[in-house]
Structure 1
Amino acid sequence: MHANVERIGTMHCGVGESPVWHVGEQALYWTDIPGRTLWRWNASTGHCDAWTLPEMAGCIAMTSDGWALAMETGIFRAQQAKADIALAPLERLATVKHARPDMRFNDGRCDRQGRLWAGTMVLDTALGVPAGKLYRFDAAARRVDAIIDDLIVPNGLAFSPDDRTMYLSDSHASRQTVWAFDYDIDTGTPHNRRVFIDMHAHPGRPDGAAVDADGCYWICGNDAGLVHRFTPDGRLDRSIAIPATKPAMCAFGGPGLDTLFVTSIRIDDDPLSGATFAVRPGVTGLPEPAMHC
């Protein structure tokens, strides 16, 4: 195992995504997209729970009494997950009309005003079809609005500590770019799009991301077994090796929010692929916002 990196649990997810630290429970939640599973790891006991989902969930977000899940056909809500109790039938909050039938939601998270953002993608990424969009969910109206289009594999969604900068990446090999936007907190509108990181200049494709308390942007270098930290001006500060070739998304958690949890994608010739890891990077993160609904 690499220095300062520990594995949590024994699961091997097909695509481990959207880790979210639940402060109240002191537990990490995440989703296995093709496994249609919601996972929870209890930090105090080390015990893992799993719940079967009716559709693939690309990302999850806390609500006041449970979870929001961006899945294949829309946004859903589940009551708080309880060990050994199946999730109740999910409540559909909004339906999405995809450009093609072979699409699903992928990476997403809430801003600090409680708006849920999530991107969509074509299932077969080898096709390279830019049919994906980044959606903003309006909980009051129960609808999703497409804000950014022409995306292949939207990823890397994150917000600066003051919420005035929004980050978004496209993981596809033909894009490999992270953009920054000025973000209007009152209206939830991104503008002034510019290239923040050209990942062609760094190892790995840009996948899921998180922002620490210093405003630095951490992004998984998929295919390179690395997680990179970039300063707010786009300078590479450091890279941490993960013992899996395809790290997928990272999130801060732990009692002091000083642990970086990293999910990964399973591949045949990588024995620790699909595992979830805990890293102590020497910095702290910020509490994950909940969706207002």
Structure 2
Amino acid sequence: MTSAPRVERIEAAGRAAVGECPVWHAKDRALYWVDIPARRIVRLRPESGQRSEWTLPEQVACFAFDAAGSIVAGMESGLFAVTLQDAGDVRVTKLAAPRFDAPGMRFNDGRCDRQGRFWAGTMVQDMAQASTAGALYRFDANGTLSAPIVDGLITQNGLAFSPDGAIMYLSDSHPQRRLIWAFDLDTDTGMPHDRRLFADLNHHMGRPDGAAVDADGCYWTCANDAGCLLRFTPEGKLDRTVAVPAVKPSMCAFGGDDLSTLYVTSIRPASNATDNDGSVFALRPGVQGLPEPGYAGMLPVA
């Protein structure tokens, strides 16, 4: 039986209202993440504790780096190229925008597949509406935004890819759904097919928020509202539960020089929040992660 890893709050990271999308940038040896309502991208260098932040013109929910260090980001009105400059300055250029099927929408969870295509989904921000206007999109290396690949989503989340890139995971974290699906992914065309239920969190705990896949091919999901991480084997069997000291863990990512540290962002609830809620946490779960793929296209210098 695997012993429970020690979970540490990273004091230098500060607090976020809605911390999301942790990304380990190996070249910088730094962890990046977003605070969605604050319109902020944050960077922390764990060794020195140096923290930097950049405020964007719109809410930003997900992003990925390209080879030159520029960022493709999913924001409120579309996808943007973002250049982070010294002294907190930022430049943005709009790349593409889907047709939003309802008012009050924005991008939510997103990341690159193993071939460097950027995937991101949309949602209606007012979750009380339980609107199914959300959809998943693919932004390829040629700068082309796809039509909706998966539609009918309420709160799109949980994007992750198997080590060989042939399986794509996607979740809907809305309380009325709480489902994780797996798809076979054609790695040449970027088209998913054979959608199937991977895990139903109605039979476990929490809501399936952001996720990461480890080197063993196991899928880690943040169980929002349950204060824990759940790891599922490639067969969809729950094999580990790790408690974290925040009720709403939001997304996790492997980082550190050996990719053996699991970083976890969290959300600060509107009421009864503790000092831990909204913090970033770190733990060493005894497994390694995979390098986070970057965007394979060339972004314009914003």
Normalised by the shorter chain, which TM-score bucket? over 0.9
Per the alignment, residue 233 of structure 2 pairs with 231
| 2:18 paired with 1:22 | no
Per the alignment, residue 300 of structure 2 pairs with none
4+ runs deviating over 4 angstroms: none
Structure 1 stretch displaced more, 5-14 or 112-121 = 5-14
Any conservation in 2 of the 1:35–1:56 contact (CA below 8 Å)?
A: yes
| 2:268 paired with 1:266 | yes
Alpha-carbon offset, residue 82 of structure 1: 4.2
Alignment length, in residue pairs?
Answer: 290
List aligned pairs for 1:86-125, cutoff 5 A.
86-88=89-91, 90-125=92-127
TM-score (norm 1): 0.96
Instruction: Report the 3-state secondary structure (helix = DSSP H, G, I; strand = E; otherwise coil) of the residue aligned with 2:149.
Output: strand
Distance in 2 of aligned mates of 1:192 and 1:52? 40
Alpha-carbon offset, residue 197 of structure 1: 0.1
Alpha-carbon offset, residue 3 of structure 1: 5.6
Any conservation in 1 of the 2:206–2:223 contact (CA below 8 Å)?
A: yes
Any conservation in 2 of the 1:77–1:92 contact (CA below 8 Å)?
A: yes
Instruction: Report the 3-state secondary structure (helix = DSSP H, G, I; strand = E; otherwise coil) of the residue aligned with 2:148.
Output: strand
Please give the per-residue CA displacement for 1:145-170, whole angstroms capped at 9, x wherever unaligned. Answer: 31000000010000000001000000
Per the alignment, residue 215 of structure 1 pairs with 217
Match of 1:77 among 81, 84, 90: 81
Per the alignment, residue 181 of structure 2 pairs with 179
| 2:86 paired with 1:47 | no
Alpha-carbon offset, residue 14 of structure 1: 1.2
List aligned pairs for 1:153-172, cutoff 5 A.
153-172=155-174
Please give the per-residue CA displacement for 1:174-218, whole angstroms capped at 9, x wherever unaligned. Answer: 111000000100000100000000111111110000000000000
Identity %: 54
TM-score (norm 2): 0.93
Distance in 1 of aligned mates of 2:296 and 2:101? 27
Per the alignment, residue 129 of structure 1 pairs with 131
Distance in 2 of aligned mates of 1:108 and 1:25? 21
Match of 1:281 among 278, 281, 285: 285
Match of 1:245 among 244, 247, 251: 247
Specify every segment of 5 or more residues in structure 1 that has no aligned partner in the other structure, as ranges.
none
Per the alignment, residue 13 of structure 1 pairs with 16
Instruction: Report the 3-state secondary structure (helix = DSSP H, G, I; strand = E; otherwise coil) of the residue aligned with 1:58.
Output: strand
Specify every segment of 5 or more residues in structure 2 that has no aligned partner in the other structure, as ranges.
298-302
Distance in 1 of aligned mates of 2:81 and 2:118? 12
Structure 1 stretch displaced more, 250-259 or 94-103 = 94-103
Distance in 1 of aligned mates of 2:162 and 2:5? 28
Match of 2:72 among 68, 87, 94: 68
